[in-house]
Amino acid sequence: MTGIKTSFLSFTMMSALALLAGSAQAAVGKSSGEARTKFNDTYIGQMQEMTASYEDTLVHIGREYGVGFVEMRAANPTLDPWIPGAGAHIVIPTMNILPDAPHEGVVINLAEMRLYYYKSPYDAPLTFPIGIGRDGLRTPMGATTIVRKKDGPTWTPTPRMRSEDPTLPVSVPPGPENPMGSHALYLGFPTIAIHGTNKPYGIGRRVSSGCIRMFPEDITQMFDMAPVGTKVTVVDQPIKSAWIGDSLYLEVHPTQEQATLMEREGAIPDYQLSEKDLAYIMRVAGPSVKTLDWQKIRKVVKERKGYPIKIADKTEEIKKAER
């Protein structure tokens, strides 16, 4: 009996202590919640790498890691995207400098073919690869909103589409044959939507008639998260630069015009640093502009590998001045 009573008392005391600890943690959590600061980092994610097996392709690896085709091709220009080969070293560009755009709602950067969703001002944005408009049918830029949502959209080819291909049906109902996939977020831009696809290999490529395509597993997330009225900002920024800690990084993507060549050949012709590029990098560098490695910067701009590469460090004098 004594042993049972002691155990019961111990259990009671432990329960009481646990409750007190839980209350204290809740109070701390509440206090922490009230003191939360807005997300203000300049980047998200970390670079990854892997060793390919015989059956791997850059398309399948990219989808597994949430990276589009041109992104994978740019980061691994010397590899055959369809047969990289057993033992090949694969760079997975899952680190992104954030576009120079409002940290609000949906931000789409056409140059990197990537969507960022700022679900909360206190958290890092979620990011997804996308497919965008091809030559002659570019995805429009500017600010708009999500004006309506549809679970199971009907695809209605435009008159232009039907004139180019008279075999197209008047419309395609929801289902596996629907090019819009399972869900659609219609934008204020005429005839433009963020939607799924029944051809996932088009993600990370310029293949649409202007709409923004997402992997089937990604559009379902966006559909559930983003309400009607969400702000959407579309930009075209091939070059992004930012300070990460005490180091300055540069991330350069193929332009929309260069993306097709990068997709096909894995490389692009020599690209010279423009005056606009130069001014942008110097502005971001600020007082550390004298420490910039211009030879390395020209190499990064030429290669356009699509992931952040360090180009400068703050001097001890600058670090001290900032303290």
- CATH number for 138: 2.40.440.10
The answer to whether residue 305 is domain-embedded is yes
- 60, 89, 103, 211: the catalytic one is 211
For residue 263, is it within any domain? yes
Tell whether 91 is covered by a domain: no
Position 60 in a domain: no
Q: Comparing 122 with 11, which gets the higher pLDDT?
A: 122
DSSP per position, 123-178? SPPEEEE-BEE-TTSPPP-EEEEEEEEEESPPB---HHHHHH-TTS-S-B-SSTT-
Q: Are residues 243 and 298 in the same domain?
A: yes
Pick from 201, 221, 236: which residue ends a domain? 236
pTM higher than the cut 0.75: yes
Annotated active-site residue 103? The verdict is no
Contacts of 3 (CB under 8 A, 6+ apart): none
Predicted local confidence at residue 269, as pLDDT: 67
User: What is the average pLDDT across 142-159?
Assistant: 94
- Domain check: are 124 and 225 in the same one? yes
Residue 122 in any domain: the answer is yes
Q: What is the tally of structural domains in the chain?
A: 2
Decide if 280 is inside a domain.
yes
Same domain for 231 and 247? no
16-22 mean pLDDT = 40
What is the rounded distance in angstroms from the CA atom of residue 126 to the CA atom of residue 291?
33
| Statement to judge: residues 225 and 244 lie in one domain | no
pLDDT at 18: 40
Same domain, 254 and 231: no
Q: Do 194 and 265 lie in a common domain?
A: no
Q: 146 lies in which domain range? A: 103-236
Write down the pLDDT at residue 31: 45
Same domain? For 228 and 245 the reply is no
Q: Which of 186, 218, 236 is the last residue of a domain?
A: 236
- Same domain, residue pair 214 and 293: no
Tell me the one-letter amino acid at 124. A
Q: Residue type for 138, please?
A: R
Q: Is 183 a catalytic residue?
A: no
User: What residues are paired with 238 via a beta bridge?
Assistant: none
Question: Are both 300 and 315 inside the same structural domain?
Answer: yes
Same domain flag for 266 and 231: no
What pLDDT is recorded for position 257? 85
Bridge partners, 130 (sequence order): none
Q: Are residues 189 and 304 in the same domain?
A: no
Answer yes or no: do 132 and 213 share one domain. yes
Question: Which of the listed residues 221, 236, 251 is the one where a domain comes to its end?
Answer: 236
Least confident segment among 18-22, 46-50, 258-262, 305-309: 18-22
- Check 89, 103, 183, 195 and give the catalytic one: 195
| Residue 34 pLDDT | 61
Is 68 within a domain?
Answer: no
- Does the residue 32 lie in any domain? no
25's CB contacts (< 8 A; 6+ apart) are: none
More confident: 7 or 252: 252
User: Within 10 Å of residue 44's Cβ, how many Cβ atoms?
Assistant: 16
